[in-house]
Amino acid sequence: MIYEYEGKTEKEAIEKAASELGLEKDQFDVEILESQKKSLFKNGYVKIRVHTLDSQNQVSSEFDGKISDSVSKSVVSNPMPQDEFEQKLVDFTKTVVEKMGYEVAVEIMFREERKVGIKLTSSSSSILIGRKGKNLDALQLIVNIYAGHLGREDIRVILDTENYRIRREESLVRLAYVTADKVRQKKTSILLEPMNPFERRLIHTTLNDIADVETKSEGDGLYKQVRVIYKGVR
């Protein structure tokens, strides 16, 4: 569902949305529609659009219980930077977010082979996430480019806040199973929303073992769409 709210500041508009919807701030995505800073002659004004996370779809008994098994859980390790590279990543990420105008605490979330997770803690987490995680994806891209400039093209940096990545994965896995149910019942195909490469791969992988359903990506650019197709048992 989509709602719009206004306030004197971003924080006030978000708090108003959370109060009226009866949701926590991490249960919806925020898109800034209009923003006017306070001046000598004008009051501050912000208009936001709120996208609540889709949780009403129910998964059939065939797929019930598979969702949590399909979502990767990262192991939390020592949150303090362990070397110069990690320290530079943490400092750079903090600087970028603060230059955007938001206070943030940055720490290492996990370490894996060729992968480092960075956790952002901020009162403006909904803004940092953005609609469908696009702001977080953009920040992550910038940090990965910086890692490349440090000579670590072999390392993939994952940014997260408020466990958005895990919640998004769970939501997409659920969406994949619900969509598979629908195309089998109606013997048709359904085109899903535009997604980044990781999200599309998650949909493809989730439905890969379902005999009478296939998937394919459509469109151009970074954010392509996945079509889920009923093909029948061959």
Average pLDDT value for residue range 186-203: 89
- Tell which wins on pLDDT, 176 or 222: 176
CB atoms within 10 A of CB 195: 22
Domain boundaries 165-230, corresponding CATH code: 3.30.1370.50
Give pLDDT tens digits for 142-186. 999 999 999 999 999 999 998 888 888 888 888 899 889 989 888
DSSP secondary structure string for all residues of the chain: -EEEEEESSHHHHHHHHHHHHT--GGGEEEEEEEEE---SSS--EEEEEEEE----PPPPTTTTT-HHHHS--PPP---S--SHHHHHHHHHHHHHHHHTT---EEEEEEEETTEEEEEEE-TTHHHHH-GGGHHHHHHHHHHHHHHHHTT-TTPEEEEESTTHHHHHHHHHHHHHHHHHHHHHHHTSEEEPPPB-HHHHHHHHHHHTT-TTEEEEEESSSSSBEEEEEE----
- Tell which wins on pLDDT, 91 or 63: 91
Give pLDDT tens digits for 75-124. 555 788 789 999 999 999 999 999 999 999 999 998 888 889 999 999 89
Range among 3-12, 28-37, 135-144, 204-213 with highest mean pLDDT value: 135-144
pLDDT at 26: 61
| 48, 31 Cβ separation under 8 angstroms | yes
Q: Where are the domains of the chain?
A: 2-52, 84-163, 165-230
| pTM of structure | 0.63
| 133, 168 Cβ separation under 8 angstroms | yes
Mean pLDDT taken over the chain: 82
**Does domain 84-163 match CATH 3.30.300.20?**
yes
